[in-house]
Copies of this chain bind each other. A is one copy, B any other.
Amino acid sequence: MEVGFLGLGIMGKAMAVNLLRNGFKVTVWNRTLSRCEELVEQGASMGSTPAEVVKKCKYIIAMLSDPPAALSVVFGKDGVLEQMCTGKGYIDMSTVDTVTSTKISEAIIEKGGRFLEAPVSGSKKPAEDGQLIILAAGDKSLYDEVMPSFDVMGKKAFFLGEVGNGAKMKLVVNMIMGSMITAFSEGLALADKSGLSQTTLLDVLELGAIANPMFKLKGPAMIQEKFPTAFPLKHQQKDMRLALALGDEVEVSMPVAAAANEAFKKGISLGLSDQDFSAVYQVVKESSAASKV
C-alpha cells in the first residue's frame, strides 16, 4: 500500500517509520526538508511540497503540530488543495479543534476528495511502538480503506461518526483524566498530612479496583514533587476548559470537572503552566504563603 505522509515531528516520524518497516511505500514531506533524510535512508521517497505528495499518492496522512500548521499545509501555496481531486483521501491525524477540522474537511470534499480526522491518544513511546489509539471520524469508506495503516500505527482504531467527534472524544477522555489526577493529588496530600506513607498509599492503590497506569507511572514522581513534562499543565487546563464549554453547549453540569479546572487555573497562576499536569499536586499541597502573611 502506498501513502503520503506530511509532517515528521516526533510523532509523525515514529509513525512513518512504522509504516516503512511494515512494507508500506511512503512518500514523505516535512517543512524542514532535511528531516526527511533519515526516512529516505530507510526507503521512503520524498516530495518537495505537500502538493507534490498529494499528486503522487492516493492516500495522504498528515501529522502536524497545531491548527495553524494543519491549515497552512492544506490551504497554503503548493498545499494539499492544489492537487486534491476525486479518488484521493486525506487523513489528518493532527490534534486540532472542531472548527479547523471542519474547515479542512469541507475544502477537501469540495475538491472531490474524501476526508478523515483521526487524532490519536498516546505520545512518543506508543507512537514508536505502534500502540496509539486512533479516534477517527468522517468518511467511513476511507476509514475502511486505510485500516491497514492504522493497524500498523496503532493498537486500536475507532470510527466515531461525523467530523468533530474525534476531537470531542479526546476532550471527554482528557476531562476524566484531569479530574482523576486532581483527586489523586488530594488523596496524596491527605495521606501525607494524616501521617500515612504516600508510598504505601501507592502500593495499596495499585492492588485495588482503581489501579491504573497513570497513578502507577506518575505517583512515585509526584510524591517527590517532580513533574517531568509529558503533557503540560496548561494544555490539560485548556482541554478541561473546552470540555466544560462542550458541557455548556449540550447542557451537562459537571461540578467535579469544574472544581478540577479551577485547580489547574490556580496552577497556571502559580507558574506551573509548562510542568506536567500532575503538578496540580503542588496546587493542592501548597501552603507556602503562611510565612508571608
0 or 1 for each of A156-183: is its CB under 8 Å from B? (1 = yes): 1010110001001100110111011011
Contact assessment for A173 and B204 in the assembled complex, using a CB-CB cutoff below 8 Å: yes
In the complex, A68 has a CB within 8 A of chain B = no
Number of this chain's copies in the assembly equals 4
> Which residues of the other chain, B, contact A263 by a CB distance below 8 angstroms?
253, 255-256
0 or 1 for each of A222-266: is its CB under 8 Å from B? (1 = yes): 000000000000000100010101111011111111111111011
Contact of A190 among B172, B213, B260, B270 (CB under 8 A): B172
Contact of A211 among B182, B204, B213, B284 (CB under 8 A): B213
A-side binding surface: helix, strand, loop or mixed? helix
Given contacts A191-B172, A196-B165, contact A209 B205 (CB under 8 A): no
Q: How large is the interface on A (under 10, 10 to 19, 20 to 34, 35 or more residues)?
A: 35 or more
In the complex, A42 has a CB within 8 A of chain B = no
Closest beta carbon of chain B to A179's beta carbon, Å = 3
In the bound complex, how far is the Cα of B293 from the Cα of A279, in angstroms? 10
In the complex, A208 has a CB within 8 A of chain B = yes
> Which residues of the other chain, B, contact A209 by a CB distance below 8 angstroms?
177, 212-214, 217
Given contacts A165-B195, A179-B179, A201-B173, contact A252 B190 (CB under 8 A): yes
Contact assessment for A204 and B252 in the assembled complex, using a CB-CB cutoff below 8 Å: no
